[in-house]
Structure 1
């Protein structure tokens, strides 16, 4: 209490020394009390715990006082140019150091300390390149390149020379079509296929002419072909199983096996060919195969008597004397025809006399046995007969089989059904045709009768006797197939 003012006055404990703050604290008076505040020293001072006084702190170089202790100075952070720009600043306790840092230049360059510029690294000169002995090193700005030897190419990723697979790279064009491409280190090789040899350009293949070089194994003829050759044989020969030797073609045996006859007579095989002999009465034609009938009647007019007819047969001939029936006389114009005898009707009825043939003729035809009758040729014309050219007259033809004389019992005789009677192109004509092949030898007698009527009245009759001589030989086969064999 203030005695003068009689008011309550604050007691300053700090000034009076009535506080209990220790030496490390400073007393701060407050209204009605006090508080202890920790003492603070300057950065270059440190508080003495015993006396509570601030004492100066002396730090060595590279350190500075801080909070009563020495703290390291980070020169790298506080000094912008502590080191040259191409060196790295590294802080150390109480100091720092400058050291060479990682390359600040682009790959392939280095820092020149004198000029401070990035200069090209000459890998070729330094020997730091990866080019092998198969390549030359060529320095380039910031890099280098390996100039690879022929057959190699530079890989920019591995920086090495790698083998070129020409066979794949050129996709089948490295070698010709007649060769196989084989890759090798730094090159490739063209291997020609059999029958070819490597050309001077080492990629093309030349055909080997085995025929000219004499290395072909052909017995007779050789034909060269690209990469190979072919053996062929002369006419009458065929290649053996080895396709090199030639074997004789037995034409006779081949045709016999096929069921056909190569020769009408006897077939004789010869080396590279064959011979045909003809039966008696035939002669060999210029083709050496076909047998031609000898027409003895044409070649010799004195074979038969003067009153006989010479009939040429296949392989022979026959002298035939025409015996005219009763009341008929030989026709002086045609030796094969008989005419009704003048006045012969005096001793018979007129009606009966009219029905007798006006003339009777004999026709002779020679054919081979087994004539080819097929779907393509359904009949073979043998004989045609034509009556008088009278438009007012009608004509009736009739055919009958008189006889069939076989040469032996094994021969099947002809019958009427083997023959056709057909109308000819003109109204007054008829045709006799063979509809079935006949066996031989045999002699067939056919009689063709023509009855003539005018205005419904009988006007006459004509008779033609057709004598068909069937040979013991077949028709000769068409030899187009044989001709092909001979041309081989």
Structure 2
């Protein structure tokens, strides 16, 4: 208040002096001048707050560097049972990955990061035994028994096979002249044709076939293969195979596309993690991102802008270097740019939240979230606020793969409607060709 009054007196005296005795300006002119002064003060205040923030980051970096000079590391992490651990460096900024053994699935986060406080992010994951019966591998009323890394099916009387997939069909032919059966001509046997097994009971002949075969019409001496892929293509128990079914003599087998393996139940497909199994050809300066049915090698480079420069603080993050006092355009550039890569299946149901952006310690009084770019980004995504400090990227329409979608989420920090800082998060989605 005192500063405002002093400005009013100064403006009035200045105008009287320059106007050679003219009257003090009108009230409207004074208010206009005051708004200009207030805008100038707000700009200086914003610059001051930004300078404090930059100074705080520098102090934290110096403190972390000083601790690292004393060989500071995070405590050693134990390897969960039935898993293996990737990553030996335990300095701040480095990650450790966990991969479960065959037959087990990961519960919790797959990686942990050594933080500047020399503590690990997240919680220690565990590996639990996969319930092979969870997918319902036994068909036609069969009972599944979960075993170590495998399963078995107890089938009803009329069904046989590893998944109770083949019906037991027997043929009954009444023969008045038994010798006619015994003197029947020989049958040509192939992979999909077999002779039946016949027995005589009280003057009649009872013929049966092996599992997966059935009597060929009226000819009780010949058994032909049952095409399970065609017979059970659309049944109550669903398709025999998640992807492709191949008929075989007396049975069938399932196949998966390139980049997938058939699961232990013999019906479903599981993605091959080329990054974890080191099957990728990514170079040292690239990161391997596992996708459904393949992988991607990515390398993040910091932007080169005319009025600002950036430094890489992690493999996926770039931060703006401090701005010089005379560079007025530099503070308008993003303070940081981070990259995130997601692997999703084709035709993912929507709406669905794909990513969240939040501020841990906001300085200003307002956070604003927005979606940058046009075209596909606007057609398939939107940005919504989930709470005061968090915005979320939402997929609003399914996407047919294979495709790559990119979206940029901007978080702006404001104080009294004056911009303090901008943060950009780039999200890249690798969409597979298949829906499973």
Name the larger-Rg structure: 1
TM-score w.r.t. the length of structure 1 is 0.40
Question: Which of structures 1 and 2 has the larger relative contact order (alpha carbons within 8 angstroms, sep 6+)?
Answer: 2
TM-score w.r.t. the length of structure 2 is 0.45
